[in-house]
Amino acid sequence: MDSRAGSARRVTVSPRTMLALFVGKLAAVMTRSLGKGGGTSLPGLLATRVQPHLVRELASQLQRGTIVVSGTNGKTTTSRMLASILTEAGVSVLRNASGSNLTRGVASALIARFDLWGTIRSEVSTFGLFEVDEAALPEVVELVQPSKLLLNNLFRDQLDRYGEVAMVARLWSKAIARLPAAAIVIANADDPLVAEVAVNNSECPLYFGISSVPDKGSTGEHASDVKTCPRCGGPIEYTLVTLGHLGHYRCSNCEFVRPEPVVCAENVRLRGIDGSDFTLAAGDVSASVHFPLPGLYNVYNALAAAAAATALGIDMSQIATALGNATAAFGRMERLEVDGHTVYLALAKNPAGLNEVMRTILQSSEKANLLMLLNDNTADGHDVSWIWDADVEMLAGHTGQVAFSGTRAPDMALRFKYAEVSDERGGKSRIELNTEAGLVHALAGLGAGEVLFVVPTYTAMLDVRGVLTRLGHVNPYWEE
Amino acid sequence: MRPTLHLVHLYPGLLNLYGDRGNIITLQKRCAWRGIELRVHQIGLGESLPPDPVDLYFMGGDQDREQTVVERDLRERHREAIQNHVSAGVPFLAVCGSYQLLQQYYRPAEGPELVGLGIIDAYTVHPGHDVPRCVGNIVVEWEGGTIVGFENHGGRTYLQAGAAPLGRVIQGHGNNGEDGFEGARTGNVFGTYVHGSLLPKNPAFADLLLHLALKPRYPDYELEPLDDSLEATAHDAAIRRARAMRG
Ligand SMILES: [Zn+2]
């Protein structure tokens, strides 16, 4: 019996939790009035100092359950698609802001939706959808006690933060061990590292994967992070490589093999920057998807969202419709109009991601104008050596104007020099450490109606968004 | 005469963690731009070395599981040939994990000690996973000026009497964070923790390797200087960035 409309409030939380909510809400009001990026992190940070169990207490009140989404690439895009599937199915969704994917970000999102008495502000039952940093996963899972855990992929990223890919796999095993007994693990069958974690730690994972891509074969890329079997260290063989180390694999030494996925994308046909077409299938139900986001990496994100929605009992045709209306998360091949030019913002923060972005650019443009933005701040990873593992060589002969910006612009310029990719307008490739100056110069160098591809790392993307916001071309990201 | 050099790249599929491919690309291009042909022989697990001549060896970094697999293959298949080559002056560049494999032994945080090739008179001890790794930008002073790059290693390396350091740490940790040394040089064998990648931003180091590789079979060949202004820009910018991020 819910007596929310009445005057007598049923207080379900402790005074300490109410104090934490008060502190968090105050911090949110103050950061917002100071215009400091929407307060997606500080409220949670302060409130959990007051009440360390805050997240557990609030998350346990989400009656529809919760899902925690993790993976090196695609957390935001996947969460965004899952949220729109659920919203269209009439489910109220509570999400943390992208980029605020540690415990404090989850706490901030909860604080914003609960009132000071610890009651959720919603007329319908609410589902919690939290995207979480790979390394923060054990802690967040322990606190949130989610009913679903979605593991999308495990790429080499920010090695200086996490040590190595194998260490993240160990953290994920720990996270699965902390799940409630009835929880479902949803895992990417095509990623051997994810599959090995899922198969070893979960009784009956729900797998998703790409069944067939007519244009792809078994050749790997240099960006591949996995050369040996995660179980025995023997050589691993592929009959299909979709991207990076993802695909159809089998160990030639032990019994380790790609698990058979339940939710599949069949017959994936890429349409360049315009997206792809595929058949979404689960068991004997299927639906065709005319998917507007580019690249196979986004097909994986769509599949991840579809698998989670399937586990939540959403209808396949409803899922397919929602995926057909998907829009890019900010900076993920996001299309903007700036001063009469079309500008694409395409985040690339590791070799596999950069390869996919470059492939998409090549499919859509004969001579691409590029602004490469390489930063080495903490959220980007301080180590920029990953750029040497990306196959920049594929751009040779296909570029127009090429410019470099960001704290490590000269490193990227050097990568292009050794790939023999040059500014084919004849000029010397411009290097500009300052992002704003780099963007202004790149736009000024374009001919009438020309397209510019801006390819930033994470903090460089925030920088360039900041510049575009100031110039009035986009909304601040916290308003999305 | 147009020289042809043979580079042996050991375990490229297994040891390529920190952009090691950048080192090979750099050697290839710096040869091609001078009309030198560089043939790269990629040698994987269970494969044999190419027939002589071998002019240069490269071996990259790794993750720990892969190191045990490599260690056995390296010792059982190639130890003798590599020892013969390096004692005849063939240069060898080993980065991160393979720097450790060329030493006397490696004592991991847990599990048995790994015997190395013993070509570099040094040993490495991993102090345990609760001790912070040596991570960050690194600047080293050596005979050719400065070396810049990035280091990321758990193990601490201690040089013994038979090995000279590659250089002195100006910023960063280097071999062990205690004695101020980075890397090792024994004859023409170079071991280092610097990646990032190492050679693109340190063209003097790349050219030293090529010079040493050419010397036995093409003693009179002089390396033509290249336009390294972009390399210098990136090198200097990396030093400034390393300083800025220290605080
Ligand atoms: Zn195996």
Domains of chain B: 4-246 (3.40.50.880)
Distance from CA of B26 to the nearest CA of A (A): 7
Task: Identify whether the C-beta of residue A78 lies closer than 8 Å to the C-beta of residue A126.
Answer: no
Identify from A376, A383, A408 which residue to disrupt to test chain B contact, counting B C-beta atoms within 10 A and taking the largest count: A383
- Tell me which of A265-269, A368-372, B1-5, B80-84 is least confident: B1-5
Q: Does residue A388 belong to the interface with chain B, where contact is any CB pair within 8 Å?
A: yes
pLDDT tens, position by position, A374-413 = 999 988 889 999 999 999 999 999 999 999 999 999 999 9
Closest chain A residue to B28, measured at CA? A418
pLDDT of residue A35: 63
pLDDT of residue A36: 57
- Tell me which of A331-345, A404-418, B211-225 is least confident: A331-345
Q: Using CB atoms, which residue from A384, A389, A408 is nearest to B21?
A: A389
Closest chain B residue to A413, measured at CA? B230
Domains defined for chain A, CATH in brackets? 1-146 (no CATH), 186-327 (3.40.1190.10), 332-479 (3.90.190.20)
Q: Using CB atoms, which residue from B14, B16, B230 is nearest to A414?
A: B230
Q: Using CB atoms, which residue from B13, B22, B64 is nearest to A385?
A: B22
What does DSSP say about strands A368-373 and A399-405: parallel, antiparallel, or unpaired? parallel
pLDDT of residue A274: 83
Pick A327 or B179 by higher pLDDT. Answer: B179
Residue B134 annotated as catalytic:
no
For residue A235, how far is its CA from the centre of ligand 1 (angstroms)? 7
pLDDT of residue A477: 45
Q: Using CB atoms, which residue from A227, A376, A431 is nearest to B14?
A: A227
In angstroms, rounded to a whole number, what is the distance separating the alpha carbons of residues A163 and A307? 30
Distance from CA of A51 to the nearest CA of B (A): 28
pLDDT of residue A320: 96
Distance from CA of A319 to the nearest CA of B (A): 39
Q: Select which of B96, B134, B173, B235 is catalytic.
A: B96
pLDDT tens, position by position, B18-75 = 778 999 999 999 999 999 999 999 998 889 999 999 999 999 876 555 567 788 889 9
For residue A196, how far is its CA from the centre of ligand 1 (angstroms)? 10
User: What confidence tier does A228 reach under pLDDT thresholds 50, 70, 90?
Assistant: confident
Chain mean pLDDT for chain A: 87
* Mean pLDDT on A52-63: 91
Percent of chain A topping pLDDT 90: 61
* Mean pLDDT on B9-14: 84
Residue in B1, B2, B60, B5 with CA at minimum distance from that of residue B211? B5
For residue A188, how far is its CA from the centre of ligand 1 (angstroms)? 18
For residue A356, how far is its CA from the centre of ligand 1 (angstroms)? 28
Q: What is the interface size between A and B, counted as CB pairs within 8 Å?
A: 101
* Summary count for chain B: helices (H), strands (E): 6, 14
User: What confidence tier does A217 reach under pLDDT thresholds 50, 70, 90?
Assistant: low
Chain A CB contacts of B64 under 8 Å are 164, 166
- B63 SS3 class: coil
What ipTM describes this predicted complex?
0.96
User: What confidence tier does A290 reach under pLDDT thresholds 50, 70, 90?
Assistant: very high
B19 and A389 within 8 Å at the Cβ level: the answer is: yes
In angstroms, rounded to a whole number, what is the distance separating the alpha carbons of residues B185 and B198? 16
* Mean pLDDT on A244-259: 93
User: What confidence tier does A426 reach under pLDDT thresholds 50, 70, 90?
Assistant: low
> Residue A20: pLDDT above 50?
yes
pLDDT of residue A232: 85
User: What confidence tier does A353 reach under pLDDT thresholds 50, 70, 90?
Assistant: confident
Q: Does residue A160 belong to the interface with chain B, where contact is any CB pair within 8 Å?
A: yes
